[in-house]
Amino acid sequence: MTKTSAGSEKICDMLLDSGSFDSFSMAELQAMEVYFRVVTYAAGEVIFKEGDAGTFMCLIHSGEVAVSKENSSRQDVQIAILRRGRAIGEMAVIDGERRSATCVAETACCLLILSKESLDKMLNDIPRSAAKVIRALAVSVSRRLRLAVGKLVDHAD
């Protein structure tokens, strides 16, 4: 993992590119960018493991992230490959629970990181924008849940 210093314009552009913040004004994005940091991972590097404390979430700016979950036989089963614009780790940041899956950089990745501490600070400093961030994350989680339920129903036939 390598922390990179990105100019505020770059972080703003990265937030816009994610697709999760299309409804945000440029002023909101500029106010929010100080709460994010940019981190790169080499292919094969573990971003976080299932069961870890959920201290941060990521937005994938570039690269691919493999998501896996341990089955009842304690074997890792890959459940998804995520690409640009997808969020990972947001459930643990929102609900305070431990990580529900393991995420590994499938390829070299550039991620925007928002720590739980930074999200809490954002809630205090710019509550309206922070609420919009949380809403965007909730929408993302809701879409994934609907997709997962649809797949469960399809497999039940």
Query: Which residues make Cβ contacts (< 8 Å) with residue 81, sequence separation at least 6?
Result: 64, 65, 66, 67, 106
The span from the CA of 99 to the CA of 54, in Å, is: 6
Position 3 scores a pLDDT of 62
Query: Which residues make Cβ contacts (< 8 Å) with residue 148, sequence separation at least 6?
Result: none
Q: Is residue 33 within 8 Å of 76, Cβ to Cβ? A: no
The span from the CA of 58 to the CA of 85, in Å, is: 10
Question: What value does the mean pLDDT of the chain take?
Answer: 89
Domains of the chain, start order: 2-156 (2.60.120.10)
Interval 104-122 mean pLDDT:
96
Which DSSP state fits 33? G
Strand order in the sheet with 87-88: 2-4, 36-41, 109-115, 56-62, 87-88
- Rounded to the nearest 10 degrees, what angle do helices 127-156 and 116-125 cross at? 130
* 123-147 pLDDT tens trace: 999 999 999 999 888 888 888 788 8
Interval 29-33 mean pLDDT:
92
Name the maximum alpha-carbon separation found in the chain: 51
pLDDT above 70 for 157: no
Interval 103-128 mean pLDDT:
96
Phi, psi of 148 (to 5 degrees): -65, -40
| pTM, 2 dp | 0.86
Q: Is residue 82 within 8 Å of 51, Cβ to Cβ? A: no
